[in-house]
Amino acid sequence: MQADNPGAPPAQQLTFSLAGEEYGLDILAVREIRGWTPVTRIPQLPAHLLGVLNLRGSIVPVMDMRLRFGLERDGYGEGTVVVVVAVADRSFGIVVDSVSDVVELDHGAIKPVPDMGVVVDTRFLRGLAAHAGRLVMLLDVEKLMRPEDVQTLEAVLPDIQEIEVAA
């Protein structure tokens, strides 16, 4: 989503804060924003996958973005938010420190992620944009959930859904 599409309308991004930095998600991937509520923990999940939420009858995995990015967890408080996103036919929640606002970014303002070598994993980023005096890191929602995370969840979610239906 760089300057290769100059006639396209501005990209709308939901911006949020994480460890003092500003990130953005394509607004079209966002399904819901909800305040923090405890999740049902599932044994042996990777640390960044906190567990699942029952969202109006659907079981939704929840990922802590601080832990996903290798940052220290600061605790969950009143400002902590779960953003429910959809990728293809899957929904999952991402825990962020706080939601800022929805911003419109011209495609020409979105710059490619610089090569940081093998030391820094930038595969989750699809671009960087300056907006209102701050740098916004734009996330690629489709790359947040690793294939091994999806396999782990697929192995345990059928059991959880059966329990929910039977209860």
Whether residue 152 lies inside any domain: the answer is yes
Task: State the pLDDT at residue 96.
Answer: 96
Whether residue 48 lies inside any domain: the answer is yes
Strand order in the sheet with 49-55: 30-35, 81-87, 90-96, 58-64, 49-55
Alpha-carbon torsion, ordered 56, 30, 71, 36, to 10 deg:
-30
* Residue ranges of E strands in 72-165: 81-87, 90-96, 98-105, 110-111, 125-131, 134-139
Whether residue 15 lies inside any domain: the answer is yes
In the predicted model, residues of the chain with pLDDT beneath 50 are 1-3, 160-167
Task: State the pLDDT at residue 21.
Answer: 92
Contact 142, 128 (CB under 8 A): no
Whether residue 61 lies inside any domain: the answer is yes
Whether residue 85 lies inside any domain: the answer is yes
Whether residue 6 lies inside any domain: the answer is no
Q: Which domain holds residue 21?
A: 11-166
Domain CATH code at residue 56: 2.40.50.180
Phi, psi of 99 (to 5 degrees): -95, 135
Instruction: Tell me the pLDDT tens digit for each residue of 44-68.
Output: 888 888 999 998 888 889 999 999 8
Whether residue 2 lies inside any domain: the answer is no
Name residue, tokens 């044994």.
43
Contact 39, 70 (CB under 8 A): no
**pTM assigned to the model:** 0.82
Q: What's the number of domains the chain is made of?
A: 1
